[in-house]
A and B are shown apart, each in its own frame.
Chain A
């Protein structure tokens, strides 16, 4: 298929074909990870900068590993948003990147839309590694890959996302990706954790976990950010766990096998029971492996499009 997007900013607007193509490519890269020498020369000579304005050990490591497995040269740039706010602007950072002749930028930023802004400043391909509460497309893709492996096809599969939807970029990328692949999406959360007019997404909305479990084939359990408690969005962890904590007992009551995903890191005993997170229903470790494969595929697919667009221009 003709895959001709220049940047990966979010999954909103991606077609079933595009997502399937990325996932198929991810499967091929997943094979590389199982080799004795899990490394291919595909991105030799390409320079990728990991621009992390927000701490994220997992995502950064996953990207870095993916880059190294592809033989790219990588540069890490970490800066807490506050220090950047005081000093260099994103535009200045972008100009520096431009001057360093970098091919791709993997960007994590606390401000929604920052990766889009960067595309307006530099020629490099931009991969969004999470922007504010907007999107986290590679996390969405790895969740899709994990579910696709489990269910074969996602058509008609019911996936409930449980937790703080409102502040979750993972939720947004999941919603767009799942729906593109034909899955049905449910959101299960207290009303204070649902964004304004969430129904615009054509999703099922649950305020009762047991009803969501009754409905769902798979759960994507989001991490509860403990600081939200202070902001009055929920009262106590105990209350949250009582109402929305996923436990083996509650799963067993449904009499169904429900698959569980979690983007990590887990608050054991809060949004999910510790034992359950380690059980056979949980695909959490598959998600981690798939994360590297998906990121390799994304890096490969978005690595040459800029150049290829130029070649296309020239050949005309």
Chain B
């Protein structure tokens, strides 16, 4: 990794979410800003020239839903190891959720996180809690939190407990025009469920989390967003019905957006048949019909964002009975590969559409100065080879935790390098 103020990326395939098709060309970065895209003569250029022939050059990828476990569970992940995982996965920005210990409900914690990330290449944009201690009662000091750097509010891990509190939170958030990100799960229906309630859960004898528990909170919050006029972002959408609810709400003009995780458009609940805890996450893997609804929602634009819900857990915690294992899988390092293989390759999305859902869209939702290749924009770039393949090996993940269901899977697309915050990083080529 090196500091570079002047770089010329020569001969790349430039994917700008604003344009329908990729274009062949060069990207010039000066003083940390994009100054020119097109055919740029390298002769006489006194900065660093990087040959990116056959590589994709796009805005730095943003993962608007991760868990970095800091503060509190540094044994599972830290800002630093999480950032390393993000880089390996091609992300230049990540938004950690506030369910840490202590909870990110005060400007001290937000400040701490920003400070921990200041020398890293990766931008860390924290999401603060909606309520104190995510307990669903008292609103956090949103004004102070936004000033310190919080980009959104969420009680993720849990839904905002009651409709009343959600109404107040949304009303209050209007002052800052930041979104409330909701983990949609009616706890009274989900109870102690550990997987999707389906024919499979019935067969396996595992308590189910009905899709209904997600749909009910999605409905509730859409109605509250409609009523208040606030920005609502549905985290990790997973059911066909919820996608339909968001689709209808968008048509009515409700300010609602949503995100999907790669595992929810790649895997279905049949994969749990071996009771492997690496397939346990919340929301759970749903049915194939839901998976297809995710693809449809991505295609028609109902689903705005692809994020990962990167949720590191220690081996000790995860290597137990399925029933007792914690929810969550790591996702930063496999997201791009899954998007290319399961969305772009089969033509669900064009490369440019897929990139938009990992750059421009999250940036717009969170009001970030990122996700674009516009002239004079802050230079944040991800460069990858979309044709290269590699095999996921748990042991080689940069994340401190190894809980992935994709161990042994062949991934498409390998990260070549990242540029962010004035730093140029060339990915390790050890994987060949």
Contact, chains A and B (beta carbon distance below 8 A) = yes
Residues of A within 8 A of B (CB): 12, 85, 89-91, 109-114, 116-117, 131-135, 169, 172, 195-198, 200
Interface pair B199/A113, CB less than 8 Å apart: no
Q: How far is the CA of A85 from the CA of B323 in the complex (A)?
A: 11
Task: Let me know if B322 is at the binding interface, CB within 8 A.
Answer: yes
Q: Can you name 14 extra interface pairs (CB under 8 A) apart from A89-B320, A117-B275, A117-B322?
A: A109-B321, A111-B322, A111-B323, A112-B204, A112-B205, A113-B204, A116-B274, A117-B321, A131-B205, A134-B204, A172-B205, A196-B197, A196-B201, A200-B199
CB-based closest 6 A-B pairs: A113-B275, A134-B205, A133-B205, A111-B323, A111-B321, A195-B202
Task: Let me know if B392 is at the binding interface, CB within 8 A.
Answer: no
Given A113-B321, A117-B275, answer yes or no on A132-B205 (Cβ-Cβ < 8 Å). Answer: yes
Q: How far is the CA of A114 from the CA of B316 in the complex (A)?
A: 16
In the complex, per-residue mask of B73-97: 1 if CB is within 8 Å of any chain A CB, else 0:
0000000000000000000000000
Q: Which of chain B's residues have a CB closer than 8 A to the CB of A195?
A: 201-202
In the complex, per-residue mask of B199-219: 1 if CB is within 8 Å of any chain A CB, else 0:
101111111101000000000
Q: Which of chain B's residues have a CB closer than 8 A to the CB of A133?
A: 205-207
Interchain nearest-CB distance for B430 vs A (Å)? 30
Q: Which of chain A's residues have a CB closer than 8 A to the CB of B320?
A: 89-91
Interchain nearest-CB distance for A167 vs B (Å)? 9
Interchain nearest-CB distance for A316 vs B (Å)? 28
Which residue of chain B has its CB nearest to the CB of A114?
B321
One of A91, A135, A196 near B199 (C-beta < 8 A) = A196
Task: Let me know if B198 is at the binding interface, CB within 8 A.
Answer: yes
Q: Which of chain B's residues have a CB closer than 8 A to the CB of A111?
A: 321-324
Q: How far is the CA of A310 from the CA of B206 in the complex (A)?
A: 34
Interchain nearest-CB distance for A6 vs B (Å)? 16
Question: How many cross-chain pairs have Cβ atoms below 8 Å apart between A and B?
Answer: 64
Interface pair B323/A112, CB less than 8 Å apart: yes
Q: Which of chain B's residues have a CB closer than 8 A to the CB of A200?
A: 199, 202-203
Task: Let me know if B319 is at the binding interface, CB within 8 A.
Answer: yes
Q: Which of chain A's residues have a CB closer than 8 A to the CB of B202?
A: 195-198, 200
CB<8 Å pairs between A and B, sample of 25: A85-B324, A90-B320, A111-B322, A112-B275, A112-B322, A113-B206, A113-B321, A113-B322, A113-B323, A114-B321, A116-B274, A117-B275, A117-B321, A132-B206, A134-B204, A134-B205, A134-B206, A135-B205, A195-B201, A196-B197, A196-B201, A196-B208, A196-B210, A197-B198, A200-B203
In the complex, per-residue mask of B305-339: 1 if CB is within 8 Å of any chain A CB, else 0:
00000000000100111111000000000000000
Which residue of chain A has its CB nearest to the CB of B323?
A111
Interchain nearest-CB distance for A231 vs B (Å)? 9
Which residue of chain A has its CB nearest to the CB of B208?
A196
Q: How far is the CA of A197 from the CA of B211 in the complex (A)?
A: 14
* Most B C-beta atoms less than 10 A away, residue of A12, A85, A117, A131: A117
Q: How far is the CA of A132 from the CA of B205 in the complex (A)?
A: 7
Q: Total interface residues on B, using CB and 8 Å? A: 21
Q: How far is the CA of A134 from the CA of B6 in the complex (A)?
A: 62
Q: How far is the CA of A89 from the CA of B325 in the complex (A)?
A: 11
One of A12, A89, A114 near B203 (C-beta < 8 A) = A12
Interface pair A89/B205, CB less than 8 Å apart: no
Q: How far is the CA of A195 from the CA of B324 in the complex (A)?
A: 21
Q: Which of chain B's residues have a CB closer than 8 A to the CB of A85?
A: 324
Q: How far is the CA of A169 from the CA of B203 in the complex (A)?
A: 10
One of B199, B205, B274, B319 near A197 (C-beta < 8 A) = B199
Q: Which of chain B's residues have a CB closer than 8 A to the CB of A112?
A: 204-206, 275, 322-323
Interchain nearest-CB distance for B320 vs A (Å)? 6
Q: Which of chain A's residues have a CB closer than 8 A to the CB of B203?
A: 12, 172, 200
Q: How far is the CA of A135 from the CA of B275 in the complex (A)?
A: 14
Among residues 186 to 244 in chain B, which have CB atoms less than 8 Å away from a CB atom of chain A? 197-199, 201-208, 210
Q: How far is the CA of A132 from the CA of B202 in the complex (A)?
A: 12
Interchain nearest-CB distance for B193 vs A (Å)? 11
Q: How far is the CA of A134 from the CA of B202 in the complex (A)?
A: 8
Which residue of chain B has its CB nearest to the CB of A134?
B205
Q: How far is the CA of A133 from the CA of B274 in the complex (A)?
A: 15
Which residue of chain B has its CB nearest to the CB of A168?
B205
Q: How far is the CA of A111 from the CA of B274 in the complex (A)?
A: 13
Which residue of chain B has its CB nearest to the CB of A12?
B203
Q: How far is the CA of A168 from the CA of B20 in the complex (A)?
A: 55
Q: How far is the CA of A130 from the CA of B117 in the complex (A)?
A: 50
Which residue of chain B has its CB nearest to the CB of A135?
B205
Interchain nearest-CB distance for B340 vs A (Å)? 32
One of B201, B204, B321 near A90 (C-beta < 8 A) = B321
Interchain nearest-CB distance for A154 vs B (Å)? 22
Given A90-B321, A111-B323, A117-B321, answer yes or no on A169-B198 (Cβ-Cβ < 8 Å). Answer: no
Q: Which of chain B's residues have a CB closer than 8 A to the CB of A116?
A: 274-275
Interchain nearest-CB distance for B315 vs A (Å)? 10
Interchain nearest-CB distance for A176 vs B (Å)? 10
Given A110-B323, A113-B322, A113-B323, answer yes or no on A169-B199 (Cβ-Cβ < 8 Å). Answer: no
Q: Which of chain A's residues have a CB closer than 8 A to the CB of B210?
A: 196
Q: How far is the CA of A113 from the CA of B200 in the complex (A)?
A: 13
Interchain nearest-CB distance for B325 vs A (Å)? 10
Q: Which of chain A's residues have a CB closer than 8 A to the CB of B316?
A: 89
Q: Which of chain B's residues have a CB closer than 8 A to the CB of A12?
A: 203
Which residue of chain A has its CB nearest to the CB of B210?
A196
Q: How far is the CA of A200 from the CA of B210 in the complex (A)?
A: 17
Which residue of chain B has its CB nearest to the CB of A113?
B275
Interface pair A196/B205, CB less than 8 Å apart: no
Interchain nearest-CB distance for B191 vs A (Å)? 9
Q: Which of chain B's residues have a CB closer than 8 A to the CB of A89?
A: 316, 319-320
Which residue of chain B has its CB nearest to the CB of A172?
B205
